[in-house]
Amino acid sequence: MDEREKLRKFRELDDAFAEALRELEQPDNALDIPTGPPVRSLETLDEEERQRQREALFEQRLQALMQDYAQPAESVSHLLATLKSLGKIA
């Protein structure tokens, strides 16, 4: 990239920055500032990790029980749907 192109891009960036500053100074201006995803606390991340571990352990225990009692996934799914419809599980 030659020097003229660099200077042009710098001016465009400088103009855009100056415009953004002017918009910030206007008290009645409702800006649409893009933001990223919300920041989660370490406590929240730890709780999510514990929840994933509990779900993985449940899945392992369920698979072992299904194997021990020779129950296919469809049968267990039907049983869970029935229990849920009866209000026995949430």
The pLDDT tens digits of the residues spanning 25-47 come to: 776 766 666 677 777 788 888 99
**Alpha carbon of 32 to those of 2, 13, 27, 35: distances in Å?**
35, 19, 14, 9
Whether the Cβ atoms of residue 24 and residue 31 lie closer than 8 Å to each other: yes
Mean pLDDT of the chain: 85
Return the structure tokens found at 88: 């026995």
pTM: 0.48
Three-class secondary structure of residue 6 per DSSP: helix
Return the structure tokens found at 30: 């409702």
Please give the backbone phi and psi of residue 46, each rounded to the nearest 5 degrees, phi first: -65, -40
